[in-house]
Structure 1
């Protein structure tokens, strides 16, 4: 059986890894990934317009159409696989630290499952208060069910990851068919009553989270495989492989995403159901390559700037170290700006405006993360998750 890569001991099991000791590449990738997440989510808050396959406006202006096409090509269906790969990578890092500190695998497995349950709880709170498209429940479910894959043989990992692409391709056809036959359903973000919006958010969240978990099994498993080889911890040693993944992945994601990008940007308008369904599935499947390519590219950049990261890389890494906090802050900002019961920008902006808000919101979280880094503070959401995860391990006070 493949063993976990054991890292040097980081102290007692309940002592967190110092932020200064973390590898640059995974955090740089997470910080950059949050920009893609913001872009992927912001347009979901728009309402009052007919929408296409990926939720972009069908009656937007030329700039909106360009933005929609670019985001379908480079963001939608690409950010989630990147997140999944980095999540799988992080699970192995966490397991390695616990085992290196003297924990046995059954204890580590219980820890990972407990953390997964708390992620699901965080996701519920996120959906209850802010956003129906929460992805914390997705990763919580994934790690809860597939925690055993952290110790699976490499061959098992790769076979399951490869075969699941076929399952994913079949599943990806269902949303396209539903949109063609029934149209794009109204989203909870368009509900004017904040009380009514709560119920609608939870109803959509309950079905969407498990469905998304099925979509990201392959990149999650490949992230575990990559972590065993420390591809992002030691990017210099794996530069050739990372380069191949980055180049091939970007080419594949562009070629596979271009047809749907042309459809959603209203350039290709004479498509039929027989072409739209496989085109949608092709976009989804090739998004896995894009997500992996972005993670590999972050590793290459981290290797390039490792000796002198500079202000930008340092701030992005600070954001990545506090990715849970920054992710939740994005939703706070979006609700404050877009919702009908707040500033109501969702009913006035187009896709280009939503993208601008997404970039501004992300930059704000990067700035806040950098300020927290300078103050020596961890992210509050990360701190809370850690305290809850390890609470059951602390001996009772007599």
Structure 2
């Protein structure tokens, strides 16, 4: 049953979870899938070279759409929501008078193990390992004030971008270009061909390819995505402490006189700043060159602005009558986001590798995007069906069991 709060503002279910939080998480699942699926569809994606079998104009256009609108934006949204949900877990533990620390540490341990299994068996670009590691830092800073959390997030992001710019400058000075040499390009092509062939094999061939790729992907996810994800954790922590997703005037430290008009004005301001800055950075990154380190630096700096604009746009949409229905539909996959995240990898393995249909390297990128949309549509329907019968997703059940060291109730009582 859904409980409406002030009709036009944020909606709460009887479980106390914010529908808007779940809806944003459900929307993020689509973005994550759009970014991840090219790594299943071609062995050339990880080495960072164009697939020789996909050189048509529509292949470049499809990849450009993913880079422009999705790449580097949606893991930040997931990370923001991780930090926001962390504050809800803290409040829940305090309300029940239980010790939060051991439960959260068990939760991080379980996330780490799930991430290791996902990276080795399904998708070498898994982010859960990074979340588990940087979740320890988030816990260490859980008493920080919202203002200080935002300052630290800004310092981390700024420092990271400056270091990346310094690297780009050094490469430009000493190598003259960040583009690969002819020999390096030939090796990248050979690596892509070998990876494609391995993915066309059976389960053991796919697993061997995943494990071998971890030496490249794990440092990238931990040391490149990790600091930026942690910055988003801290922004989510600050937002959670101020309950900014709970609707106008809902936060404990917000101005009691701040009504829907002021809240709406803040969302519009985020859009007016976020879209121009974020889209400009995306344009430079997409149309310059993805192996241009300067373009990458600008992209790291501007991607959070576009992510924030996406969030503001959705929150404004959710507060309309039709948008409320959209929020309800997106919230269902969002409530079981971990199950859906892992099932995306599983479905892609079954579709593209020799474990299943073996379509790797055989589908144009526009078709790959179509497959991603089809997978997401199935998840929307499947999540709705599942949650009419069960309280949570199956992987959420495992995570909760590990966190609380108990067997949670799974089926809904009639």
- Corresponding position of 2:276: 251
Would the alpha carbon gap of residues 392 and 322 (structure 1) be closer, same or farther in structure 2, given more than 3 Å must change? closer
Q: Give me the whole-angstrom Cα distance separating, in 1, the residues matched to 2:400 and 2:289.
A: 41
Offset of residue 144 of structure 1: 1.7
1:382 and 2:404 aligned: no
Would the alpha carbon gap of residues 393 and 322 (structure 1) be closer, same or farther in structure 2, given more than 3 Å must change? closer
TM-score normalised according to structure 1 size? 0.82
- 5 Å-filtered alignment, 1:137-286, equals 137-170=129-162, 172=164, 180=180, 182-183=184-185, 186=192, 191-192=198-199, 193=201, 194-203=203-212, 204=214, 205-211=217-223, 212-234=225-247, 236=260, 238-263=263-288, 276-286=292-302
Native 8 Å contact 1:74 1:253 kept in 2:
no
Native 8 Å contact 2:339 2:393 kept in 1:
yes
1:314 and 2:328 aligned: yes
Q: Give me the whole-angstrom Cα distance separating, in 1, the residues matched to 2:372 and 2:206.
A: 22
Post-superposition Cα deviations, 1:172-214, rounded to whole Å, max 9, x if no partner, equal 5669977646455649575244324324423515434322212
Would the alpha carbon gap of residues 254 and 129 (structure 1) be closer, same or farther in structure 2, given more than 3 Å must change? same
Offset of residue 119 of structure 1: 0.6
Choose the corresponding residue for 1:124, options 92, 116, 119: 116
TM-score normalised according to structure 2 size? 0.79
Offset of residue 344 of structure 1: 1.8
Post-superposition Cα deviations, 1:212-246, rounded to whole Å, max 9, x if no partner, equal 21232222211111111111122557332222223
- Corresponding position of 1:44: 39
Mean CA deviation greater in 245-254 or 25-34: 245-254
Q: What 5-or-longer segments of structure 2 have no aligned partner?
A: 1-11, 172-177, 249-259, 409-414
- Corresponding position of 2:317: 301
- Corresponding position of 2:25: 30
- Corresponding position of 2:375: 361
Q: Give me the whole-angstrom Cα distance separating, in 2, the residues matched to 1:377 and 1:197.
A: 34
Native 8 Å contact 1:161 1:217 kept in 2:
yes
Mean CA deviation greater in 228-237 or 62-71: 228-237
1:326 and 2:358 aligned: no
